[in-house]
Amino acid sequence: MLDFLDEPHESLRRQQKGVYWSHLYEDKQSSVKVILLDVRYFRDIPNTENTDILGKKQWRWLESTLEGNDADLTLIVSGIQVLQEDHRYEKWAIFRKRENVS
């Protein structure tokens, strides 16, 4: 995937499992942080007991990324639907939240 996206060979993204990443876009007036989640690499089998979609390492990364964030606007991007629950297609609702991801 990173080859397809033309990610440089020296990129830090190539040194981790999964393709989650964040980037801060800034100009003189405002800033926007874009957080891209990888909802495929670490996920468990959906609709089973105690399933997870991000994996412990990505959850910890997301938490630390949000803690140090002072952007004017933060966008969290997921490749599947987050809010919708009332259809049979892929969505966050088919992954039951773990009690402790730390």
Yes or no: say if 54 and 17 are a contact pair by the CB < 8 Å rule.
Answer: no
Residue 98 has a pLDDT of 55
**pLDDT at res. 13:** 83
Give the H or E element holding residue 62: helix 56-67
Residue 26 class from Cβ within 10 Å (0-12 exposed, 13-18 middle, 19+ buried)? exposed
Tens digits of pLDDT across the chain (102 residues): 888 888 898 988 888 888 899 999 999 999 999 999 998 888 887 777 778 889 899 999 999 999 989 999 999 999 887 777 777 777 777 776 655 555
What pLDDT is recorded for position 30? Answer: 97
Rounded Cα distance, 7 and 4, in Å: 8
Instruction: Check: CB of residue 31 under 8 Å from CB of residue 22.
Output: no
pTM more than 0.85: no
What are the structural domain ranges in the chain? 18-94
Give the model's pLDDT for residue 45: 79
